[in-house]
Amino acid sequence: MIYLLRHGETEWNLERRMQGRRESKLTPLGLRQAAAMAALLHDLVAPEGVDGWRLVSSPLGRARQTAAAVAARLGLEPELDERVSEIAFGEWEGRLRDEVAPQHPELFASREWLVSPPGGETFEDVHARIADFLAELPPEPDRRVIVVSHGMAGRVLRGVYAGLSPRQTLEQEVPQDAVYRLMGGQIDRFDCEPIEEG
């Protein structure tokens, strides 16, 4: 079983700025989202005990901040793994989406911009490292892993798990207030209680 979550909202998410491998702290809402996802995971995992569970996080700060909330709630020590990091956006990192989109209208007409950053990683690059990560996990039913990742990397992880096409992978939602359970070849979504904006 794998529980997968995306980090909480960041300052750059709020600005619609492309993050990639750059750092951006969680907003106050992002911190509340992290706490809410940690509480939800506690409800999902704790009844049967946390023994044997691993908490794996991207080494990027926003994921580590979110993983810290999970670690505090479940008493697990986060392990950092570069393979679940966000896609590298190359020359677009740090730039506003609204600034870049008019320069590449053919890409931004679909979700293809997510995997076409100049100087960055390709879909195949991210797919390969995520597939490598999943291949190293124990088989079910011995697999007990919580993964804190990112928007694009989380899409690809679910896509690899479910055998989705690139297009299907890119079309998946990437909420910051929900947890996905990957088990028995099926993916289920669990939403947090509504989180106040203020």
Beta bridge pairs of residue 148: 5, 57
Amino acid of residue 188 = D
Q: Annotated catalytic residue: which of 86, 93, 127, 150?
A: 86
Verify whether residue 150 is a known catalytic residue.
Answer: no
Contact 150, 122 (CB under 8 A): no
Cβ burial 36-55 (10 Å sphere, 16+ → b, else e)? bbbebbeeebeeeebeebbb
The Cα–Cα gap between 50 and 44 comes to: 10
Verify whether residue 7 is a known catalytic residue.
Answer: yes
Amino acid of residue 179 = V
Q: Annotated catalytic residue: which of 7, 93, 121, 150?
A: 7
Residues 6+ apart with CB under 8 A from 107: 113, 116
List the one residue out of 187, 85, 90, 62 whose CA is nearest residue 132. Answer: 85
Catalytic residue IDs? 7, 86
